[in-house]
Amino acid sequence: MNVIEALKQRKSVRAFLDKAVEKEKITTVLTAAGHAPSGVNTQPWQVAVVMGETKRKLQMQIESSFREGDKGKADYRYYPDQWVEPYKSRRVACGLQMYSTLKVEREDKQGQLNLWAANYRAFDAPVMLLFFMDACMQTGSFIDYGIFLQSIMLAAEEQGLATCPQASLADYPVMIKKTLNYPQDSILVCGMSLGYEDKSALINSYRTQREEISVFTRYYK
């Protein structure tokens, strides 16, 4: 598989097989991603690989808080306070596409709640990756992190693994840091589901649309 093929083939997977991911594959993926560039080689990434009983306990805590009405509070604002075009329409289209694929109606609030709760179980993937960085790091390190995260997803694709990057897994930083013994003043950037795709699952059948390059590109000469 070449890089362009991996970029086009990668998708956010939300249903996984009940199949353990070999530690060797996780090591291969993270080692490869560790070659990602960062400003003055800071390499700000710190990765927690959460599996087994630790994952089960952590996701139970998070999902329970969510279902009790605690929406959590991430360490930083991921989305804008006010949505404007074209981002508002893209966001709406993404949600509608998933709900229509699964035939979850607008009035089915419990169905929507259950779908969102699955985020906090990392969609029942065998591996939940959580990404931290030190509190002293600034905006540039988020850019570095984006390169690192994409590198993980592409390396996983090459290893036959599926992923889903998740801002939602950063919604409960206090609880997660306490459970995993990370400093409370560190920054929980995001999470990621990792495992083998359940290709029979309906939720994995839809793909979000991408804009043509003419929409986001200008050429100068």
Among 50, 49, 45, 75, smallest CA distance to 60 is for 50
Q: What is the CATH number of the domain that holds 68?
A: 3.40.109.10
Mean pLDDT per 10-residue interval, the chain, length 221 residues? 92 97 98 98 98 98 96 95 96 89 85 91 98 98 98 98 98 98 98 98 92 97 97
Does some domain include residue 155?
yes
Other CB atoms within a 10 A radius of the CB of residue 26 amount to 20
Does some domain include residue 113?
no
Does some domain include residue 208?
yes
pLDDT by residue (tens digit) across 68-101?
Answer: 999 999 999 999 999 999 999 999 999 888 888 8
Quote the pLDDT of residue 105: 84
Does some domain include residue 93?
no
Report the C-alpha gap between 78 and 96 in whole angstroms.
Answer: 21
Total domains present in the chain: 1
pLDDT by residue (tens digit) across 13-22?
Answer: 999 999 999 9
Quote the pLDDT of residue 108: 81
Does some domain include residue 110?
no
How many Å separate Cα 89 from the centre of its chain?
Answer: 21
Does some domain include residue 145?
yes
Does some domain include residue 15?
yes
Domain that holds residue 54: 3-78+120-216
Report the C-alpha gap between 94 and 137 in whole angstroms.
Answer: 32
pTM of the model: 0.95
Does some domain include residue 88?
no
> Would you call 82 helix, strand, or coil by DSSP?
coil
